[in-house]
Amino acid sequence: MNNLFLRVSIWVYLGIFFAYLLGPLVIMAITAFNSNGFPSVSPWECFTYAWFSELFQDERILNGIKNSIIVGIGTVIMSVTMGLAGALILTQVWPKLRATYYTIVIAPILVPGVVLGISTVVFWQRVNNWLGLGPDSILADGLFLTIIGQSTFIASYCMLVLVARLQRYDLTLNEAALDLGATHTQAFRKILLPFMMPALATSAVLAFLASFENYNTTTFTFGDYPTLTIELAQKVRYGISPAISALAFIIIVLTVFGALTNEALKRRKELQAAASGDTVKKVDGGFRLPAILSRNPAMIALIALVAVIGLSTVNAMSHNPAQCIADVKEERDMQRTLEAEANLRALAERRAAAAAARAAEAAANGEATEETAPATGGSSQTGGTGAFGNVFAPTNLDGAEEEPEAPEEAPASPFGSVFDPGNLSTAEPSGGN
């Protein structure tokens, strides 16, 4: 019982955790397709691609992407190089110095990005002045400063990735190469570098992503070259638009796609490795994969994520956004007309009421009030339906219809799934996998 309770709470916890982690992203992605000018899901107006075309017409965004890529490439080259050097030295540094050395090269990860940005700008401006160069020299250039500033800490990330691989490197391989006549440089190029390749690729991808999304450092260094992140931040700070959701959608799709491809490649490599040892495995390895997928709840979640994205695309094909937007516009216009009418009517009634009141006052007779009061009530009701009817009416109706059924299920469902052993045992196989 206790164990089962724990099990369930673990899955509830996992649900909450991943809802927190992924929910905002999913919602953001969906808002990219809502024609509503404020990125939102709940008042769903129309399915549209308009935000994507708006995005691709945004010069600043496109320019930001270009700058981000340039900065990214520069940062990757610098930080992977420095990270590799840092890792190689870490494995050889004098034991007494090692802790100090490690602290120094790891520190940039912990130093707040703003501090790195400021110190980079301040330092290079000084170097620039000291060298007697003008404000348009390379040392004061936004691209240069951003690459330098980002590399300072991204190199530390790279180093951590590379050290992990380097620790598995057999140093005698280097000696063997030297012994066979290679120079140190040749041994490095022909033996160590190929060995480090997977980790170098990983660290390059990490470095690029870290550079691409960096804000804190770049915001001080970018100068005349705002990166995509800077542009995004400007936009998000001063008003939000679903065009940003559209960009987010693209990035999410690319990321998910990249991650899945990477995973598939890794998996294939492992299968190949297994197959080279045992040819039989190769045959059923390919077939086993779907079974694992179908039994795995997390994989299902991932597939569902992809499916939602896919479905929305398919949906768009069979949908005419322009028509819908026109409808919504019409509806809104209608609403506005109705409101106007209602206002007019209310105004007229108020006047009538006032007139009546005046008349009544003038007559100093109670009969007049009796006559006007129902009229006022009736008119306000019609006005209510006109203004809010299309918002509240459907939900009201649904709610009213479902209400009688609800009490039968309500007590059972929230607790049943937790305490009912039958439910648990069905939940278990999916959890136990």
Partner 1 sequence: MKNGFLKNFYQHNGKVMGTALLVIISFWIGVLIILPQLSMLDYSLREYLPSGEVGDYTLKNYRHLIYGAEGASDPYNYVDLKVFMRTIIAAICVTIFNLILCYPIAFFLGQVAKGMKLRVFALLLIIPYWINEILRAFALKIIFGATGMINAVLIGMGILDEPFDFIRADIALYAGLGYAYILLMVFPMYNVIESLDGNQIEAARDLGAPWWRIHARIVIPYAKPGISSGATMVFMLSAGALAAPQILGGPSSLWFTQIIYQWFNDGGNWSQGAAYAIVLLTSCIIIVLAFMKLFKVNMGDIGK
Partner 2 sequence: MSAGVGVNLENLWIRFGDFVAVRDANVNINGGDFFSFLGPSGCGKTTILRSVSGFLDPSEGRVLIGGNDMAGIGPNKRPTALIFQNLALFPLMKVWENITFSMEIKGASAKERRKRADELLDMIALPGQGDKLPSELSGGQKQRVAIARALCAEPDVLLLDEPLSALDLKLRQHMRTELREIQKRVGITFIYITHDQGEALTMSDNIAVMKAGIIDQIGDGKTVYNDPSTAFVASFVGENNVFRGKVKEIRGDEALIATNRSGDLVSRISTANQGKMNVGDEAMMFIRPEALSIAETGTSGDHFVTAKVNHEEFEGNSFNIFTEGDGGKEIKVSIPNLGQTFEDHTGQQITLEYETQNAVAVPAGELATE
Residues 291-350 binding partner 1 (CB under 8 A) are: 292-293, 296-299, 301-302
Q: Is 433 in the site for partner 1 (CB under 8 A)?
A: yes
Of the ranges 248-256, 314-322, 323-331, 401-409, which one interacts with partner 1 (CB under 8 A)? Answer: 248-256
Minimum CB separation from partner 2 for residue 250, in Å? 37
- DSSP per position, 180-198: TT--HHHHIIIIIHHHHHH
Number of residues that bind partner 2 (CB under 8 A): 18
Q: Of residues 190-219, which lie at the interface with partner 1 (CB under 8 A)?
A: 209, 212-216, 219
Which of partner 2, partner 1, none has residue 31 at its interface (CB below 5 to 8 Å by kind)? partner 1
Nearer to partner 1, 222 or 372 (CB): 222
Q: Rounded to 10 degrees, what is the CA torsion of 315, 317, 322, 328?
A: -10
Minimum CB separation from partner 2 for residue 248, in Å? 40
Nearer to partner 2, 176 or 363 (CB): 176
Q: Of residues 178-207, which lie at the interface with partner 2 (CB under 8 A)?
A: 178-183, 186, 190-191, 194-195
Nearer to partner 1, 233 or 275 (CB): 233
Q: Of residues 272-301, which lie at the interface with partner 2 (CB under 8 A)?
A: 276
Q: Is 35 in the site for partner 1 (CB under 8 A)?
A: no
Minimum CB separation from partner 1 for residue 106, in Å? 5
Nearer to partner 2, 270 or 370 (CB): 270
Nearer to partner 2, 94 or 415 (CB): 94
Q: Is 330 in the site for partner 2 (CB under 8 A)?
A: no
Separation between Cα atoms, residue 130 and residue 159, nearest integer Å: 32
Separation between Cα atoms, residue 245 and residue 241, nearest integer Å: 7
Q: Is 169 in the site for partner 1 (CB under 8 A)?
A: no
Minimum CB separation from partner 1 for residue 395, in Å? 9
Q: Choose which of 2, 172, 279, 395 interacts with partner 2 (CB under 8 A).
A: 172
Of the ranges 47-55, 244-252, 316-324, 329-337, which one interacts with partner 1 (CB under 8 A)? Answer: 244-252
Nearer to partner 2, 179 or 428 (CB): 179
Q: Is 126 in the site for partner 2 (CB under 8 A)?
A: no
Cα dist from 364 to 356, 357, 360, 361, 367, whole Å:
11, 9, 5, 5, 9
Q: Of residues 96-135, which lie at the interface with partner 1 (CB under 8 A)?
A: 99, 102-116, 118-124, 126
Minimum CB separation from partner 2 for residue 265, in Å? 18
Which of partner 1, partner 2, none has residue 418 at its interface (CB below 5 to 8 Å by kind)? none
Q: Is 391 in the site for partner 1 (CB under 8 A)?
A: no
Nearer to partner 1, 185 or 279 (CB): 185
Token code pair at residue 278: 């045992």
Minimum CB separation from partner 1 for residue 2, in Å? 8
Radius of gyration over alpha carbons of the chain, in Å? 33
Q: Of residues 2-21, which lie at the interface with partner 1 (CB under 8 A)?
A: 6, 10, 13-14, 17-18, 20-21
Q: Is 25 in the site for partner 1 (CB under 8 A)?
A: yes
SS (H, E, C) the chain: CHHHHHHHHHHHHHHHHHHHHHHHHHHHHHHCCECCCCCCCCCCCCECCHHHHHHHCCHHHHHHHHHHHHHHHHHHHHHHHHHHHHHHHHHHCCHHHHHHHHHHHHHHHHCCHHHHHHHHHHHHHHHHHHCCCCCCCHHHCHHHHHHHHHHHHHHHHHHHHHHHHHCCCCHHHHHHHHHCCCCHHHHHHHHHHHHHHHHHHHHHHHHHHHHHHCCCCHHHHCCCCCCHHHHHHHHHHCCCCHHHHHHHHHHHHHHHHHHHHHHHHHHHHHHHHHHHHCHHHHHHHHHHHHHHHHHCHHHHHHHHHHHHHHHHHHHHHCCCHHHHHHHHHHHHHHHHHHHHHHHHHHHHHHHHHHHHHHHHHHHCCCHHHHHHHHHHHHHHHHHHHHHHHHHHHHHHHHHHHHCCCHHHHCCHHHHHHHHCHHHHHHHHHHHHC
Which of partner 2, partner 1, none has residue 195 at its interface (CB below 5 to 8 Å by kind)? partner 2
Q: Is 92 in the site for partner 1 (CB under 8 A)?
A: yes
**239-250: b (≥16 Cβ within 10 Å) or e:** eebbbbbbbbbe
Q: Is 173 in the site for partner 2 (CB under 8 A)?
A: yes
Minimum CB separation from partner 1 for residue 342, in Å? 23
Q: Which positions lie near partner 2, rule CB under 8 A?
A: 170, 172-173, 175-183, 186, 190-191, 194-195, 276
